[in-house]
């Protein structure tokens, strides 16, 4: 015999599935917006128009506090001219994955004949929505840690070259092409900007803005001040900055060690979650008995 819960799940499943189908056919006209995205970075990109159509339907304006933060992050990770585009991609990605998993969850109730299946898919839907909403932030953090790791070497090399008599522009270019990690690539971008008409100070200032790290912003401000005061002042400033940066690197290494210890808790939490599911699923299975 069917009970009230069965009917509720069938009705809700039908509503969400029908809504998904409506979004699919109405939003297909916008599929071209996502055609150029990288498949590895944006999985299931061929369905993002579903989430995009939903956001357009409700009149979402992309102006919340989180959207403003994400817009700054997208300007760093991508060309700043396309920050608005990528924030729309991310929100569409979140809604598409969340809604799809949520709609599928109701069919799991019919297949498994208990509420455990939908609960698992609801957790997946929430996890997917949260993960892709915070992916840019996590990428920025990882990028920042990588930049800070190389930062001390960059400052030391610049201090050494300027002390040897090179002007900052030449020293900057020589250091920029001395590596291929994130901070060196950002320096290479600054070199290209100088060649394309930006002044030395503007290009270095823009480098600091793209990095979004307080320590590097302080460093670029020091360089700009040193250029204004003259090369002799700049050399002294860089030597002082180099000593400070090496202290910063020691603190970073210490923090990374603490993070590594914290990551050891992840396997324990996974085991605990597995045990919890093993206990909860039989309980929900017996509810309908």
pLDDT in tens, 30-86: 999 998 898 888 988 999 999 999 999 999 999 999 999 998 888 888 877 888 999
Once rounded to an integer, what is the mean pLDDT over residues 12-24? Answer: 90
Write down the pLDDT at residue 248: 64
Write down the pLDDT at residue 87: 94
CATH classification number, 144-262, choose in 3.40.50, 1.20.81, 3.30.1490, 1.10.1760: 1.20.81
pLDDT higher for 176 or 121?
Answer: 176
Q: What percent of the chain has pLDDT over 90?
A: 29
166 torsion bin: left (phi>0), alpha (psi -120 to 50), beta (else):
beta
Write down the pLDDT at residue 112: 65
* Contact assessment for residue 133 and residue 53, using Cβ atoms and an 8 Å cutoff: no
Q: What percent of the chain has pLDDT over 70?
A: 80
State how far the Cα of 12 lies from the Cα of 222, in Å rounded to an integer: 60
Question: Does pLDDT of 170 surpass 70?
Answer: yes
Query: Would you kindly state where each structural domain of the chain is located, as residue ranges?
Result: 4-113, 144-262
Once rounded to an integer, what is the mean pLDDT over residues 1-14? Answer: 73
Residue found by looking up tokens 């809700």 in the block = 12
Question: Does pLDDT of 94 surpass 90?
Answer: yes
pTM above 0.75, yes or no: no
Question: Does pLDDT of 21 surpass 90?
Answer: yes
- The pLDDT mean for the chain works out to 82
Alpha carbon distances (Å) from 170 to 120, 141, 202: 58, 30, 15
């Amino acid at each position: 015999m069917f009970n009230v819960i069965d009917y509720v799940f069938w009705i809700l499943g039908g509503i969400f599935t029908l809504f998904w189908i409506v979004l699919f056919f109405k939003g297909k006209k916008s599929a071209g917006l996502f055609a150029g995205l990288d498949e590895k970075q944006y999985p299931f990109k061929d369905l993002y128009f579903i989430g995009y159509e939903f956001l357009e339907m409700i009149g979402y304006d992309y102006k919340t506090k989180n959207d403003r933060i994400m817009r700054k992050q997208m300007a760093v990770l991508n060309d700043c001219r396309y920050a608005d585009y990528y924030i729309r991609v991310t929100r569409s990605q979140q809604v598409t994955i969340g809604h799809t998993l949520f709609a599928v969850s109701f069919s799991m109730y019919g297949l498994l004949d208990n509420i455990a299946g939908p609960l698992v898919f609801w957790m997946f839907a929430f996890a997917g929505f949260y993960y892709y909403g915070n992916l840019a932030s996590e990428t920025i953090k990882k990028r920042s840690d990588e930049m800070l790791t190389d930062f001390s070497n960059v400052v030391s090399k610049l201090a050494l070259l300027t002390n040897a008599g090179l002007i900052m522009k030449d020293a900057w270019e020589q250091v920029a092409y001395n590596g291929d990690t994130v901070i060196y690539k950002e320096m290479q971008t600054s070199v290209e900007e100088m060649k394309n008409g930006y002044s030395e100070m503007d290009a270095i200032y823009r480098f600091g803005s793209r990095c979004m790290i307080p320590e590097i912003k302080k460093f670029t401000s020091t360089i700009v001040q040193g250029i204004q005061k003259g090369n002799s002042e700049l050399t002294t400033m860089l030597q002082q900055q180099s000593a400070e940066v090496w202290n910063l690197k020691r603190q970073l290494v210490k923090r990374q060690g603490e993070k590594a210890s914290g990551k050891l808790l992840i396997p324990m939490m996974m085991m605990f979650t597995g045990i919890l599911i093993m206990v909860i699923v039989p309980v929900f299975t017996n509810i309908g008995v």
